[in-house]
């Protein structure tokens, strides 16, 4: 570029093929960056294919969240209204029943409705039990009497009086209740060295010894009925049960229906 007056060179620009390509490439890169920024940070992306579906899913999720919040607020508002009415004395607390309690009442009502088949089965079972107990009561060795089952479980090791092993080992499930074999008094509930307990129940001439129980439910001096829970097992130790009558060892499987 020349000055019209002095004809001196004012500005010159040399254009080459490599320079033109470089300028064109740089311009394209700048344009791509600007378009990417517009798509990412402006609402223009909503009109592009593929983005409308994600917006729809987002709207559905937000709508469901709002509905859930409205339901929670409605339940909380109803709860507060009931509390206000109870505080003001407008309603009695006994008249308020939860859905769980109503469901239990309805379930109990349904279970109480027995069919003729159920009544016949119960009558037959009671008659069989009476016959079995009548036969059992005829046994007269050592003045035995029927006692309650001490625990539910499997006998792992039976007593052997000839070897001076008087305890029967019974394996039980975890949190299984240990039951009183008869009406009597808990005369002892002592802790053992393995952090278990030994409970002794006295019922007339009978003495029942429960060893290796995990937790005592009836303390020393308690009067219990047959079938009452005396203790609880932990599932790690086996119950060792002994039964004595007037100082004589009794095989409890002869006097207790197992």
Q: Can you list the domains of the chain with their CATH numbers?
A: 141-254 (2.70.70.10)
* Whether 178 contacts 230, CB under 8 Å: yes
pLDDT of residue 141: 44
Distance CA 256, CA 29 (A): 94
pLDDT score of 136 more than 50: no
Higher pLDDT residue, 218 or 137? 218
Over residues 14-73, the pLDDT tens digits come to 777 887 888 889 999 999 999 888 877 877 776 666 666 666 777 788 888 888 888 888
CB 40 within 8 A of CB 32: no
Higher pLDDT, 22 or 4: 22
pLDDT value of residue 114: 59
pLDDT number for residue 213? 94
Structure tokens at 28: 């394209």
**CA atoms of 60 and 105, how far apart (whole Å):** 40
More reliable by pLDDT, 61 or 86: 61
Token pair recorded at residue 70? 């409205």
Reported as a pLDDT band with limits 50, 70 and 90, residue 124 is: confident
Q: Look at residue 30 in the predicted model and tell me its pLDDT.
A: 93
Mean pLDDT for the stretch of residues 175-192: 91
pTM across the whole model: 0.45
146 pLDDT above the threshold of 70: no
- Confidence category of residue 202, pLDDT binned at 50, 70, 90: very high
Please tell me the predicted confidence (pLDDT) of residue 223: 92
Highest mean pLDDT among 14-23, 118-127, 167-176: 167-176
Tell me the residue ranges of DSSP E strands in 150-255: 154-157, 168-171, 177-179, 184-191, 197-203, 206-213, 215-216, 223-224, 229-232, 239-245, 248-249
Helix segments in 10-98, DSSP class H: 17-41, 51-88
Q: Is the pLDDT of residue 125 over 70?
A: no
Cβ proximity of 181 and 242 under 8 Å: no
Burial class (CB in 10 A: 0-12, 13-18, 19+), 209: middle
DSSP for residue 133: H
* pLDDT at position 233: 92
User: pLDDT at position 100, please?
Assistant: 55
Tell me what pLDDT residue 137 has.
Answer: 47
């Amino acid at each position: 570029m020349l000055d019209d007056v002095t004809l001196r060179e004012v500005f010159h620009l040399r254009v080459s093929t490599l320079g033109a390509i470089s300028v064109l490439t740089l311009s394209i890169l700048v344009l791509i960056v600007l378009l990417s920024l517009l798509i990412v940070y402006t609402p223009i992306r909503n009109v592009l294919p593929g983005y409308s579906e994600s917006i729809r899913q987002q709207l559905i999720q937000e709508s469901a969240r709002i509905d859930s919040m409205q339901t929670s607020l409605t339940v909380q508002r109803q709860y507060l209204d009931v509390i206000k009415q109870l505080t003001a004395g407008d309603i009695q607390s006994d008249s308020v029943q939860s859905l769980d309690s109503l469901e239990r009442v309805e379930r109990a009502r349904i279970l109480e409705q027995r069919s003729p088949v159920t009544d016949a089965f119960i009558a037959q079972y009671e008659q069989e039990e009476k016959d079995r107990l009548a036969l059992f009561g005829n046994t007269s060795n050592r003045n035995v009497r029927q006692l309650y089952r001490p625990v539910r479980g499997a006998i792992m090791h039976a007593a052997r009086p000839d070897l001076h092993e008087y305890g029967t080992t019974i394996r039980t499930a975890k949190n299984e209740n240990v039951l009183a074999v008869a009406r009597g008094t808990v005369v002892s509930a002592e802790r053992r060295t393995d952090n278990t307990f030994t409970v002794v129940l006295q019922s007339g001439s009978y003495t029942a010894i429960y060893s290796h129980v995990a937790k005592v439910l009836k303390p020393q001096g308690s009067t219990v009925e047959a079938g009452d829970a005396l203790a609880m097992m932990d599932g790690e130790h086996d119950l060792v049960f002994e039964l004595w009558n007037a100082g004589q060892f009794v095989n409890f499987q002869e006097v207790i229906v197992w």
